[in-house]
Structure 1
Amino acid sequence: MKEFIQTLKNIWSLKELRDKIVLTLLLVLVYRFASYVSLPAINTAEVGNLLQHYKNQGGNQQGAGLLGLLSSFTGGAFSRASVMALGIMPYISASIIVQLMGMAIPYLQKLQKDGESGRNTLNQITRWLTIAVCLVQAPSYLTSVTQFFLPYSQFASAYYIDPNSVMFWLPSIIILVAGSVFAMWLGEKITDKGIGNGISILIMVGILADLPTAFYQEVLTQNGKGGLGSIMILVEIIFWLLVVLLAIVLSVAVRKIPIQYVSRAQARGGVSRNLMDGARQWIPLKVNAAGVMPIIFAQALMFVPGLLTKVDESNTFLAGFKNVFSWQYNVLFALLIIIFSFFYTAITIPVNQMADDLKRNGGLIPKVRPGKETADYLDDILSKITLPGAIFLSIFAVLPAVVHGAFVQTDRFALFFGGTSLLIMVGVILDTVQQINTYLLNHHYDGLMQSKLSRSSNL
């Protein structure tokens, strides 16, 4: 405990690091404040009553899980009809589109190789594409807020302006687009001037904002059962901490490939020293190299099967795809995650380029020839470790449905037992802590996660 307190003092003593952390916290506070500013034409109090009435009518079992999932990424702004209702997700969608288009469009491939100038151009393309995505998502969101609840005539006071009029739609669309662009600007400012990846931090903050309320609702529900409720709450907390620990292991697990670098004199053949005199390093291949991207891709596609219910609303099998806790939804979800894990890993880890770079810099893998054999070796190892990584990732993704059916009573709290929410939280926290550690180690301080074991291994 003393070492942890000393580490906090070290962080505060570094002016540059302290200023970055303070700025990050202030921008996050602005983002959270903006998420409570409602659209001018909507009475948020009545919208809250609408949502509660919808749940009481059985909507919670027929798709509120999807709405709750979307709301969790925006810290509740989605369900509050806030100016930040779209949140940062349009930017994430635009980034994914640009990344995938980079595989097929030569111009984008050239920009990816042009260094800083190419990266700036790609960022500008992503920003404009974000606005285009917002122009599609904003009307869809307003449709869900208006047409979805219009049948409940007793809640007509939820709208200050006729929801079918141009005076409602045009300003609301402009405000929603502006809110999403503002969130994008905040994220980029955090990345440039603050600490950590700003976009990821805003998503994490939105997710964490819903955790206290979700836990409180779970406590109330469990306590309604009597004395057994307190025991179940304790069991849930212990199990949740175990899941968090396993998520950390999945995020940091790597397979180290030993690399032997030949010295320049050895490369020229001027000396006859043993090859092992060269510098030895490692290539760390992550078990879950794709991160949460397979879940995000699969999540985007999982809205499609739910639309099929409109073709045949009486089909109970198809209706299951609208519920994130149904077995139909989760079986398809897990299969898509495994497929996308291999797909995303294949396009983001260029083994041929890695083999060429090793050969160019005088590096080699022991007992493996440089060039094509090295690329085939890396590809084989990557395929072997991606399979268990993809399986574990799919297990984490469907875990909320498992615990919801086993012992967790509320939907909102069950979503924190895995899936995108938990992995994003763990990944962002680890990345931010790593950046803080870098600042501390550069000033000869121990990092937040520095252990005696790691210190002894560096000796």
Structure 2
Amino acid sequence: MIEKLRIMWSIPELRRKILLTLGLLAIYRIGFHIPLPMIAASDGAEPSGGAADFFEKVSIFAASDLRNATIFGLGIMPYISASIIFQLLGSVWKPLEELKKEGEAGRKKLNEYTRYLTVIICLVQSYLYLSLMLVGGDRIDPDFLVNGSLGIGWQVVAVLVMTCGTVFLMWLGEQIDEYGIGNGISLLIMAGILAQMPIALYELIGNMEYNLVGLGSGTIGVETLIILVVLFVSVVFGVVFITLGQRRIPTQSAKFTRGRRVYGGTKQFLPLRINQAGVMPIIFASSLLMIPGVMLGFLAARFEGGTSEMMLRASTTLSDGTSYFYNMLYILLIFFFCYFWTAITFNPKEMSDQLKESGTFIPGYRPGKRTTDHLERVMVRITYVGAAFLAIVAIVPTIVYASLGVPYSIAGFYGGTGLLIAVSVAFDLIQKIDSHLVMRNYRGMLES
């Protein structure tokens, strides 16, 4: 591996791409330490209560940091949200579906619409964040307060600064795509996830006792650390195994003759990913569970009597990640969104038509409807396996948090969205590096 790293670094073009990517990622991380101009210089406080839990969980997979009011506080999530919206609309709205089929011109037009929607989402999210967390709060510098609250003009400035921060991150991602290496947006998200690891490790070491204290005592001892290390390796192994897992359907191309030569007749495989939906079901399920609990908590403060108590009880039930009800609902939502997202992104009829047009068929199944039905049956079966895997990975942090007594900032790295994104992006990055090495007749990073 050291020799492969040396070879990778010795290629001038690849070295320039890697250095440029690292430099742009460094700029991205610096922005998370630049507060908004109206935040008090001595302010080190973060939101507390239900909002703090909400922002902490969101920041794990959103590459954002809403716990601190910075210029990059919204992260890249508004752009991801806009992309998801257009991907969903492209499956149900005819004009967008036709635009996706127009090739490069259609892709550029969709990217343009996605940028416009990103700006709109940023404006809405930054305004809501300021309204809920900052306006009239103790974190504002007194020089910016008007009658005890942040002035309208400075609210507009804060909204525009946070919006411009996200647009700048979107531009950084595009520069990495064009001049760097790897997928820019994905690398920004992974950098935001991995940047929390040193803080989590520091918190783990700071609260650790270097002797045997027994499991379930509420103190992190040597035996807890050993279990965490073994569990982390096991979970990463499982995530890698399922992420790369495929169901290969055998296919055979038809033979045809040109002159005296016979072409075709070769046997190949049609790979179907076990985890076809990727990380999206966990993002949808966790967001759907977090938002009602937080909203009910805010509404409970504005009512009195039995209504307030009922809302507060419902908010606690929906926010308690260790409860049986919460986890069962979480698993059911993951299964639902797995099948929902797979149905949107995987079109067996279109794939069957492509096989038919290329003169390829699946042995034992006639081209057309029978091939379509077979592909759909196979995808339903493997989606069940992928959904079960995602459900297990999603609740591992909760199990670690509840049974071993470690902070959620540490338990969050043992599964869930953050780990899936980090593994997927790391494999994509290695494949991009391998393409440069193989092109120059070197072995790839993953080749023995």
TM-score normalized by the length of structure 2 = 0.90
Residue 305 of structure 1, aligned match among 286, 289, 292: 292
Among residues 235, 244, 263, which one is paired with 2:255 in the alignment? 263
| Contact 1:400 1:419 (8 Å CA) reproduced | yes
Asked whether the equivalents of residues 261 and 364 of structure 1 are also in contact (C-alpha less than 8 Å), the reply is: yes
1:183 to 153, 163, 169: 169
User: Shift of residue 435 of structure 1?
Assistant: 1.1
One-letter amino acid matched to 1:49: A
Distance 1:327 1:221, change over 3 A: farther
Structure 2 residue 192 is the aligned partner of structure 1 residue 206? yes
| Residue matched to 1:456 | none
- Residue 363 (structure 2) pairs with residue 366 (structure 1): yes
**Residue 415 in 1 paired to residue 395 in 2?**
no
**Could you say what secondary structure the match of 2:13 adopts?**
helix
Matched, 1:234 2:230: no
Q: Deviations over 1:266-288 (max 9, x none)?
A: 9x9x99x9x9x711111110110
CA 27–71 in structure 1, closer or farther in 2 if over 3 Å, else same: same
Counterpart in 2 of 1:109?
97
Q: After the TM superposition, which residues 55-74 of structure 1 pair with which residues of structure 2 at under 5 Å, given as runs?
A: 59=49, 62-73=50-61
* Deviation at residue 317 of structure 1 after TM alignment: 4.5
Match of 2:125 in 1: 137
Take 1:313 and 1:303, find their aligned partners in 2: how far apart are those partners?
19
Please state how far the C-alpha of 1:327 moved relative to its aligned partner. 3.6
Q: Distance in 2 between the 1:323 and 1:139 partners?
A: 28
The 8 Å contact of residues 66 and 323 in structure 1, kept in 2 or not, is answered as no
Matching residue of 2:155? 169
Report the Cα distance in structure 1 between the residues aligned to 2:308 and 2:201, rounded to whole angstroms: 34
The Cα of 1:194 is off from its aligned counterpart by 1.1
SS in 2 for 1:281: strand
State TM-score, norm by structure 1.
0.88
User: Counterpart of 1:283 in 2: which secondary structure?
Assistant: strand
**Paired residues of 2:63 and 2:188 also in contact (CA < 8 A):** no
Contact 1:219 1:233 in 2 (8 A): no
| Aligned residue among 253, 267, 270 for 1:280 | 267
- The change in CA–CA distance for 1:390 and 1:262 in structure 2 (over 3 A counts) is same
Matches within 5 A, 1:16-165: 16-43=13-40, 45-46=42-43, 48-51=44-47, 54=48, 59=49, 62-73=50-61, 77-146=65-134, 150=137, 155=138, 160-162=143-145, 163-165=149-151
Separation in 1, partners of 2:251, 2:406: 50
Match of 1:252 among 237, 244, 250: 244
Map of 1:316-355 to 2, 5 A cutoff?
316-355=313-352
- Distance in 1 (CA, whole Å) between partners of 2:83 and 2:41 is 31
Percent identity for Structure 1 against Structure 2: 38
Change in CA separation of 1:157 and 1:102 when aligned onto 2, cut-off 3 Å: closer
Pick closer, same or farther for the CA change 1:37–1:318 going to 2, 3 Å: closer
Alignment partners' CA distance in 1, 2:191 and 2:387:
26
* Structure 1 letter corresponding to 2:169: A
* More moved, 342-351 vs 9-18: 9-18
Match among 428, 431, 435 for residue 434 of structure 1: 431
State the Cα distance separating 1:313 from its structure 2 match: 4.3
Deviation, 1:245, is 1.0
Superposed CA offset, 1:91-121 (max 9, x none): 0000011111112222211110011110000
Q: Counterpart of 2:231 in structure 1: which amino acid?
A: F
* C-alpha deviation, 1:44, in angstroms: 5.6
Unaligned runs of 5+ in 1: 452-459
Listed as ranges, the matches of 1:368-383 within 5 Å are 368-383=365-380
Q: Is 1:27–1:190's contact at 8 Å kept on the other side of the alignment?
A: yes
Are the aligned partners of 1:323 and 1:329 in contact in 2 as well (CA < 8 Å)? yes
* Contact 1:83–1:179 (Cα < 8 Å) also in 2: yes
SS for the counterpart of 1:49 is: coil
> 2-side partners of 1:291 and 1:259: how far apart?
25
CA contact (8 A) 2:296 2:314 kept: no
Offset of residue 305 of structure 1: 2.4
Aligned equivalents of 1:244 and 1:338: distance in 2? 21
2-side partners of 1:15 and 1:86: how far apart? Answer: 35
Distance 1:159 1:33 in 2: 26
Residue of structure 1 in register with 2:217 after alignment: none
Task: Give the Å deviation of 1:77.
Answer: 3.2
Q: 1:410, 1:233 → 2: CA distance?
A: 13
RMSD: 2.3
Q: Name the counterpart of 1:457.
A: none
User: CA separation in 1, counterparts of 2:168 and 2:346?
Assistant: 32
- The change in CA–CA distance for 1:206 and 1:287 in structure 2 (over 3 A counts) is same
SS in 1 for 2:91: coil
Q: Report the secondary structure of 2:309's partner residue.
A: coil
Q: Following the alignment from structure 2 to structure 1, what is the Cα–Cα distance between the partners of residues 330 and 104?
A: 37
Task: After superposition, give the CA deviation of every residue in 1:431-457 in whole Å (9 maximum; x if it has no partner).
Answer: 111111122112111111113xxxxxx
Aligned-partner SS, 1:265: strand
Go from structure 1 to structure 2 and tell me whether the alpha carbon gap of 1:223 and 1:158 turns closer, same or farther (over 3 Å shift): farther
Structure 1 position 225, deviation (Å): 8.0
Residue 218 (structure 1) aligned to one of 194, 200, 204? 204
Q: Which runs of 5+ in 2 are unaligned?
A: 215-220, 301-306
Q: Is the 8 A contact 2:210 2:222 kept in 1?
A: no
State whether structure 2 residue 386 is matched by structure 1 residue 403: no
1:87 is paired with a residue of what secondary structure? coil
Question: Structure 1 residues 376 and 31 mapped into 2: Cα distance closer, same or farther (>3 Å)?
Answer: same
CA 1:156/1:179 → structure 2, altered by over 3 Å: closer, same or farther? Answer: closer
| Separation in 1, partners of 2:139, 2:437 | 57
Which of 287, 292, 296 matches 2:279? 292
Q: Distance in 1 between matches of 2:101 and 2:204?
A: 50
**SS at the partner of 1:102?**
helix
